Amino acid sequence: MARKTLDAVPEPVTLPSEQTVQKRIKLKMVDLDAEIAKLNKQSLESSIQMIRNLDQMNVEAVQTTAALEDQDEQLDNIEANLSKVIDDLNVVSHNITAMEHYCGCGIFRILCAPFKYFRKRERDIIKEEVLE
């Protein structure tokens, strides 16, 4: 068996004193507390920003809803006016047909021909709109 020499034996490890260990633990705790405070601050700032964004979206949603209601009212008015125009055109068409029937005059046929074409075209347009 080989003998160990004193040179081969390692030096004993010196452990830090209890005070040194406690100081290190306190420093680590202070570092952790600072990190926690920093993360809390970031989280709070992020939450505040989210609330601001939600408030802005709410304001924009109310404005959009009001604009859509105005547009809906305008479309209703347009539809009512369009119905009046269609009714007036139907009355005019009926009157022209009646005048042509009673007069038998060729000039009314000439005047009525484009109008009859217009009525046909109008029906085609309405059918196309319904199909879309």
Domain that holds residue 72: 19-131
- The answer to whether position 2 is within a domain reads no
Averaged over 74-100, what is the pLDDT? 87
- The answer to whether position 109 is within a domain reads yes
- The answer to whether position 14 is within a domain reads no
129: pLDDT confidence band, cut at 50, 70 and 90?
A: low
The more confidently predicted of residues 54 and 92 is 54
pTM of the model: 0.44
- The answer to whether position 3 is within a domain reads no
- Residue 65 vs residues 52, 58, 68, 73, 74: alpha-carbon distances, Å: 20, 11, 5, 12, 14
pLDDT on residue 74: 94
User: Could you give the number of structural domains in the chain?
Assistant: 1
- The answer to whether position 4 is within a domain reads no
